Structure 1
């Protein structure tokens, strides 16, 4: 006969971290994190994504133990940890500034968490060597941080976070100080390292590209709340509200009003009611409600083709050449700033000129009617 607690134990094995009704305020008036309920699965790479002041970093700091929740509970492997000091949580942390000790060698920096835990010299040396090899920095063990590049310092900070084999690693904008090319390279390295180790990672960033590249799931934060939680594909292809559509990738937002609803699609009037557009309807819309139509610039075409099922007349306002693609800004659907993104192989700046009348096309499934809140 199964024990009464068998089911919760099974649930605990799937969920490593649980935020249960967590709130945070610093002054008793402004609430930085508002009633956060969030489960983080064992072994996943979850990114907390949002603009400055959205609450994402505060959530990470509460999980690490550097901030205390005002209300609610944080569970780690089923145990409340709000009153547990950071060094007793067994969590690895990587900060944006790396926080390496300048007077210590690379090996001593990486071994510092083990020294604090009282490991013997031989065991410590073996673990340090393993952690450095993990991030391909084994031959730099005797150097000082000042002798390393930014990317190398980032690897050392990561090795230090992994050396004591934590079940959970927290990363607070760890690539923010790197140049664009190195940052993109490190994104792929971190993704591959996570796949090899299977450790749970909670990653904080304001960079949408990082989140889309690296994450198993993304929690999009704004105004102290999770606006949407899902895979990169779900977040990008099916945003749940105008903020998510606007914050993740490029987006055309067109204001309108729902005039009809039918089995997951709707008809929206735009341009002061002069045009009707069919769109995919997000749950929660009602007839007569204000809505924002969301459609990605790359899902629009110039001159409708048999592959598209909707179209509109447009007037070219501006053409911008960006190397691998061009952006054509047009007036259409009651908006003076609708962007169409075309590969350079399809169109060139000389193909269009301001004032030119054209048609744009798209598919109804790529146009989403979102609650206008």
Structure 2
């Protein structure tokens, strides 16, 4: 746990069950600093949205306590928590103009007309929708409606904003554009954001830290780079980005390295945990860390494989290679002259460093 002064939001041993038997959130602990952008990431049913709803006040923890700025909030009504909310379905009032939609949370807080007008104007400027005040939601595109929803979540200047899959309904190009817009607005305002998504690319792009959920338990809490480069178990390695998996048997450990056998061949990987000799482990290697290398060039792992499939992606070439008895080993190679001539059936020299391979949890 971090120092108390570092905790703006704090979940302390929080659990949640709906039927009294099955826990959808199990012993959840998380401290979030003021101004931090933290994403709860995981598959459907993993517990991430339930945690967000408990923080918002729409669900009550079965056990444990949630704190905002040092105050316990379990028994505080949602509208008294001063939290901005942004959802996937926008939740805009269709009969109101854009200005009226933004003014509504300010009217509830009984601000003066002059203050409301000023804050609405500032919020629309922030999301680049000045001049849209008198339009209604149905007159806007999906992306514009999402910007209005963002402006409404921020118009009353909350110190904490919760976002639940807010970009899920947008097309790919617009979703990526909105990711950057939300990230830049967060950086400019310094507001604390708790974001929920099942999209790992979205989480990597936007977050300061990411909590990866599975079956109600946080598997790893880390920076985007930490999760991608240093996954602590096979679930995180598979869920965050594309991942090559080799199944092997531990031979021995030396200086933080695991030497194992994969289909009879020695493979060297960074040891994440130490298992008894003979134990089954998973080795994780990212496709972009694998190279074609006829000389070896210092790579501890160097094997002969055969090209099974070659797919052109413009900025890179995706190559599937049969290797070490496994036919699903992927390389992402630069689209350059050296790799342009690769074709199915070619024999290739495949290499990677032990620093880029991680020996993870036991295969059950």
| Aligned-pair CA distance for 1:309 | 3.6
Residue 365 of structure 1: aligned partner: 355
Task: Say which SS state the counterpart of residue 153 (structure 1) adopts.
Answer: helix
Once the two structures are superposed, residues 170-222 of structure 1 have per-residue CA deviations (whole angstroms, 9 ceiling, x without a partner) of: 00111111111111111111111111000000111111111111111111111
Q: Could you list the per-position Cα deviations for residues 313-364 of structure 1 after superposition, in whole angstroms to 9, with x for gaps in the alignment?
A: 212222222222222111212322111111221555642223x322201111
C-alpha RMSD of the superposition:
1.7
1:240 to 229, 232, 248: 232
Asked if 1:88 corresponds to 2:80, the answer is yes
- Tell me the SS of whatever aligns to 2:8: strand
| Structure 1 position 285, deviation (Å) | 3.8
Per the alignment, in what secondary structure is the counterpart of residue 131 of structure 2? helix
- Call closer, same or farther: CA 1:303–1:25 in 2, change over 3 Å: same
Aligned mates of 2:79, 2:338 — CA distance in 1: 57
Aligned counterparts, 1:249-260, within 5 A: 249-260=241-252
TM value normalised by structure 1: 0.93
Match of 2:303 in 1: 312
* In structure 2, distance between residues paired with 1:42 and 1:324: 38
- 2:42 matched to 1:50? yes
Partner residue of 2:320 out of 326, 329, 337: 329
User: 1: CA distance between counterparts of 2:294 and 2:180?
Assistant: 37
Question: Structure 2 residue aligned with 1:199, among 191, 203, 206?
Answer: 191
TM-score, normalising length: structure 2: 0.95
Distance 1:172 1:27, change over 3 A: same
Does the 8 A contact of 1:13 with 1:42 survive in 2?
no
User: For the structure 1 residues 281 and 21, does the alpha-carbon distance in structure 2 shift closer, same or farther, using more than 3 Å as the test?
Assistant: same
Aligned-partner Cα distance in 1 for 2:292–2:266: 19
Of 101, 112, 115 in structure 2, the residue corresponding to residue 123 of structure 1 is: 115
Q: Which residue of 2 aligns with 1:166?
A: 158
Q: Distance in 2 between matches of 1:333 and 1:366?
A: 17
Matched residue count: 362
| 8 Å CA contact retained: 2:87, 2:163 | yes
- Write the distance in 1 (CA, Å) between the matches of 2:294 and 2:100: 63
Q: Which residue of 2 aligns with 1:145?
A: 137
Residues in 1 aligned to 2:203 and 2:28: alpha-carbon distance in whole angstroms: 20
Q: Indicate if the aligned counterparts of 1:261 and 1:286 stay in contact, CA closer than 8 A.
A: no
